[in-house]
Amino acid sequence: MEEKRDVILTEVALRDGSHAIRHQFTVEQVTQVAKGLDEANVPYIEVSHGDGLGGSSLQYGFSRTNEMELIEAAAATVKQAKISVLLIPGIGTKQELKHAAQLGAKMVRVATHVTEADVAPQHIALAKDLGLETVGFLMMSHMAPTEKLVEQAKLMESYGADSVYVVDSAGTLLPHEVKERIRALRQSLSIDIGFHAHNNLSLAVANSITAIEEGARRIDGSIRCLGAGAGNTQTEVLVAVLDRLGIQTGVDLYKMMDVAEEIVAPILEKPQEITKDGLVLGYAGVYSSFLLHAQAAARKFGIDSRDILVELGKMKVVGGQEDMILDVAAELAKKLQTAGL
């Protein structure tokens, strides 16, 4: 008999966390983390390049290990957890999704910009044909008014998605904004609602709780806060808070603490914390995975990475426009040089 879970967690450290370590995961690391998460009774574990299937590239960052090897290793390791993958149409292809399913993936999150759900129907249809649990993942959800978000979520539902996520890719949403969005979706859709947070304004746990209070049943977390920008909702912290609230996740808190401390912490190049750049991501509403790219551009051109991020925020750049980072940095450096600063 399946254990009752009031909230269903998806652990994203082996996908979103890839951004934080420049996509350098090894098979051994993925195997150890997946084993620990599985033993802690985490129901879903996402494994992919940070930018999803097919993300290993010059623009997004090359993976140390082919992601298909990582997916296969994770799927072979787990006993009760289901392996999930992320697919962004235009980066990942239907062929890669088929391959991931053959290797043991059981769920796919088809991710689009919040106003571009209409690029996803063929990928969602294929996922359903492959027998995969299928999620609509509306990234940068702060960039559309609630009415538009509802419209796009309903499109995802009409294509066959089993659930739809509000994705705070920039970690910029405030609790009342999360409340408004989740409530509107809950009133408009008949499928499960999910929420994916980033911690750039130190609101990931609070926003996740707000989402749950408004009816979200699917919540993302990242153990040890391992994710893009300042990281995601820290899974072990969220599990502890939900336990205190009497909300069941089915996840073993002590085991999660141990995995965080003993297995995941040594993988981090540095502790996940809200640095000045991470804070600016949330403040300016910039895609969290831009962080390391902006820092590299700042070093190259000898300028302040915060200036790059603020300018990107003014331009309302979205995921997939990483090439703009170097352009913005070069232009800012030129202006400073002209001004004699």
Task: Give the annotated binding-site residues for Mn(2+).
Answer: 16, 196, 198
DSSP, residue by residue, 256-284: HHHHIIIIIGGG-SS-----HHHHHHHHH
Active-site residue among 19, 23, 113, 142? 19
Residue for token pair 């990582």: 70
How far, in Å, CA of 272 to CA of 237, rounded? 14
How far, in Å, CA of 187 to CA of 273, rounded? 35
Q: Which alpha helices (H) appear in the chain, and where do they start and end? A: 17-20, 27-39, 67-77, 94-102, 121-129, 146-159, 175-188, 204-213, 235-244, 253-259, 276-284, 291-301, 305-315, 323-339
With left for phi above 0 and alpha for psi between -120 and 50, is residue 239 left, alpha or beta? alpha
Tokens matching residue 118 = 């209409």
How far, in Å, CA of 316 to CA of 207, rounded? 22
- In the residue annotation, 19 being an active-site residue is answered as yes
Angle at which helices 204-213 and 175-188 pack, to 10 degrees? 30
How far, in Å, CA of 272 to CA of 268, rounded? 8
| HSE, side-chain direction, 13 A CA sphere, residue 120 | 33
From the annotation, which residues make up the binding site for substrate?
15-16, 169, 196, 287
- Active-site positions read 19
